[in-house]
Amino acid sequence: MTEVVTDGLEGAFDAVLQGERIAALEAQLGAMRVQMGRPALDGVKGGEVDPARGAFVERYLRQGLEAGVELKSFSGASGAAGGYAVPREIDQLIGSTLKAISPIRGIANVVRTGTAGYRKLVSAGGIVSGWASETGARAETGTPSFNEIAPPSGELYANPAASQAMLDDAQFDVEGWLAGEIAREFGQAEGAAFVTGNGTNKPKGFLTYTTTSEADSVRAFGSLQYVASGAAGGFAATNPQDKLIDLVQSLRTPYRQGASFVMNSATLAAIRKMKTSDGAFIWQPGLAAGQPATLLGYPVVEAEDMPDIAANSLSIAFGNFQAGYVIAERSDTSILRDPFSNKPFVHFYAVKRIGGAVANSEAIKLMKFSAS
């Protein structure tokens, strides 16, 4: 009886010692991998294990294994058409890259929604008030009117492909590659839609709204005011910078705090050559790294989707886009792995629902290159 117990204890001690040896060996291998500059094979960054992200990148993206990956429906018409929600860290990487590629996204009001529809109420009359003495009667004030903004939206999709050999290679950063590919394709498409989109299965760009030279007090809600450049297809021959000043002053004071110019590089090239009467350039480069250049004291955002200067073109926008333009997007990007359609390549079908519209037409002004 004693011999049996002793044998059991010796076996237990041997198992413990063997487990310690294995742990010590794994630690040594990990230290050697760090010294050699080799990345961890589990794809985890910073040494912190995220089970959801690890399952998504290593199991689903690389191998196509669906177990342990969160399944969500991304179709509003059919619940059977599903996709896999991108983990938060990867989705934030896509979002930050999108902000760098799509300039309008960087200055507009971006709203994350949990549903396909989004509505915003805009007050058209403001708060009505009145004056009265200390003991005087208070008459009922008027009721401000509200307008509902429903940004048109659509499904923005991308379909990058990679070979299975690339996915099997542990040195291949599938997470960074996929986020970069999706962000680049999404950024180009949505950047054009926010400027010139027609609102059919896509956002409505701010240049597609009705324009008029009427001021804020008399202009119809939803229409944008423009300031004429003084000449058809160009700036006025004398003192062209004066029209830029008129454009700035057409925006009311509350909106000028945080306002910026938006134009493409060709238009900016023409403006950079303008000088004041004392020979100083009206355009000033950024004084520090990462700081935008300024025009008349306001930042300049280069958006290549803005039109070139031509007859009756709306080539310059000035306004507070944080107040004037709203982007509504569903928070998650869904990805569907497709290894069958184009062998030996694996396609990653990424979908995100994005909408956009002008929320406050008083906060955005345009310059129209016409005589009047």
pLDDT tens by residue, 147-188: 778 888 898 888 888 887 877 776 777 777 777 888 888 888
pLDDT at position 57, please?
65
Q: What percent of the chain has pLDDT over 90?
A: 33
- Nearest Cα neighbor of 318 from 303, 330, 331, 332 is 303
pLDDT at position 90, please?
64
Distance in angstroms (rounded) separating the CA atoms of residues 242 and 232 = 16
H helix intervals, the chain? 2-35, 51-54, 62-63, 88-101, 103-107, 164-168, 174-196, 241-249, 253-256, 265-272, 321-324
Question: CATH 3.30.2400.10 occupies which residues in the chain?
Answer: 51-124+143-201+327-358
Question: CATH 3.30.2320 occupies which residues in the chain?
Answer: 209-325+362-368
pLDDT at position 122, please?
72
CB 334 within 8 A of CB 277: no
CATH number of 51-124+143-201+327-358: 3.30.2400.10
Task: Please name the residues in contact with 344: beta carbons below 8 A apart, sequence gap of 6 or more.
Answer: 163, 164, 165
pLDDT at position 81, please?
43
The CATH-assigned architecture of domain 209-325+362-368 is 2-Layer Sandwich (3.30)
Q: What tens digit of pLDDT does each residue of 22-72 get? A: 666 656 655 555 454 444 433 334 445 466 666 666 666 666 655 555 544
**Residue found by looking up tokens 């004291």 in the block:** 297
pLDDT at position 76, please?
40
Positions of the chain with pLDDT lower than 70, given as ranges = 1-94, 96-97, 99-100, 115-116, 123-127, 144, 170, 289-290, 331
